[in-house]
Amino acid sequence: MGLYLVTGGAGFIGSCLVRRLLEEGEKVRVLDNLSTGKESNLEEVRSDIEFREGDVCDPNAVREAVEGVEFVFHEAAIPSVPRSVDQPLESHAANATGTLVLLRAARDARVRRLVYASSSSVYGANEELPKRESLRPEPLSPYAVAKLAAEHYCMVFHYLYGLETVALRYFNVFGPRQDPSSHYSGVVSRFIDAIVSGRRPVIFGDGEQTRDFTYVENVADMNLSACHAPRAAGRVYNVGCGERTSLNELWKIMAKAAGSKLEPVYEAKRAGDVPHSQADIGLAVEELGYRPRVSLTEGIERCLEFYGVLNRPAGVKYPGLE
């Protein structure tokens, strides 16, 4: 049994991945500076993991965190396009420099493989749909630039130093424990917050922008596949469902499932947002056997169930929720 390090393991995606590893019987260490992650996300598994509070930009903390580690899942980030527009230096430091610090430490510690959480935002202004990994990146925000730079660092460390790296481009991940409290939060978590609080949801732009919403358990599946597939080293893969849903459609799905009659409030489009996004997952299907197990509708129902706002008629059962 190898030791796995999850950076950002107290965050939304990281904590889901920690649980999946524990379910697989693996030993898990977490490194998180708790700037966006929360220890409460790991509350019921806290005694089963080794938790270290530290920053990926701190060489000493990272060097100690990778000691004896066989596999690294690098989820630590400041995950927000709008926040990067407001704070470009902070975004670059966490998302690009922090990754470089981690790569160097992983190389020196002889880590076998590092799986990096990149982003679909790297495609940016490229209008071709669906997004294939071979498309030319055209980033539109400091966040996207930093994620792309970190991808290149991963590939360089693979080809120069023999550290196996895999970059996964996440498409609009959602699920339980996604923090809805920030202006920078993902749209699904903000919509859930609106439902819970009874406030009208805010949509930036006309709501016709589309996204490939991907339930977090699908992302965990892909991470585990990428960690162990021999041919994945040195590669980049999309992680999505291969479908497009507009924000207006998303709200209708969520409002219906929750029994909400709230109507959205529309505000000005945000800088750095791309109009449309959809993953081509053919490469991941072919090379890693990836199949998204949880659909958008089921994922929404799971989220609403988690927060206690699913409008479940008497006698109705939902797959995966029993």
* Max Cα-Cα span within the chain: 60
When pLDDT is averaged across residues 281-294 and rounded to a whole number, the result is: 96
Kind of pairing between the strands at 245-246 and 210-211: antiparallel
- pTM value is 0.93
The number of folded domains in the chain is 2
Q: 133-170, pLDDT tens digit by residue?
A: 999 999 999 999 999 999 999 999 999 999 999 999 99
When pLDDT is averaged across residues 261-273 and rounded to a whole number, the result is: 91
Q: Tell me whether residue 179 is in a domain.
A: no
Query: Which pLDDT band holds residue 208 (cuts at 50, 70, 90)?
Result: very high
pLDDT at 186: 86
Q: Tell me whether residue 137 is in a domain.
A: yes
Q: Range of 228's domain?
A: 3-172+215-239
57 with 129, same domain: the answer is yes
Got the DSSP string for 51-99?
A: EEE--TT-HHHHHHHTTT-SEEEE--S---HHHHHH-HHHHHIIIIIHH
When pLDDT is averaged across residues 268-282 and rounded to a whole number, the result is: 90
CATH of the domain at 269: 3.90.25.10
Q: Tell me whether residue 319 is in a domain.
A: no
Q: Tell me whether residue 151 is in a domain.
A: yes
42 with 165, same domain: the answer is yes
Find the length of the chain: 322
20 with 78, same domain: the answer is yes
226: pLDDT strictly greater than 70: yes
72 with 221, same domain: the answer is yes
Q: Tell me whether residue 205 is in a domain.
A: yes
192: pLDDT strictly greater than 80: yes
29 with 164, same domain: the answer is yes
Out of 116-120, 165-169, 220-224, 318-322, least confident range: 318-322
Phi, psi of 280 (to 5 degrees): -90, 110
149 with 283, same domain: the answer is no
Q: Tell me whether residue 180 is in a domain.
A: no
Looking at per-residue confidence, does 151 or 312 come out higher? 151
Query: What is the distance between the alpha carbons of residues 9 and 48, in angstroms, rounded to a whole number?
Result: 13
113 with 227, same domain: the answer is yes
Q: Tell me whether residue 182 is in a domain.
A: no
Q: Tell me whether residue 315 is in a domain.
A: no
CATH of the domain at 83: 3.40.50.720
204 with 134, same domain: the answer is no
- Average pLDDT of the chain to the nearest whole number: 93
CA angle 320, 118, 109 (to 5 degrees): 105
Strand stretches in 145-282, DSSP E? 164-170, 173-174, 202-204, 210-211, 214-215, 235-239, 245-246, 265-267
197 with 78, same domain: the answer is no
- Residue 73, strand partner residues: 6, 115
Return the H-helix or E-strand segment holding 161.
helix 142-161
When pLDDT is averaged across residues 29-54 and rounded to a whole number, the result is: 96
Looking at per-residue confidence, does 74 or 309 come out higher? 74
Residue 143 a catalytic site member: yes
267 with 224, same domain: the answer is no
- Residue 235, strand partner residues: 166
Out of 143, 184, 215, 290, which one is annotated catalytic?
143
248 with 153, same domain: the answer is no
228 with 295, same domain: the answer is no
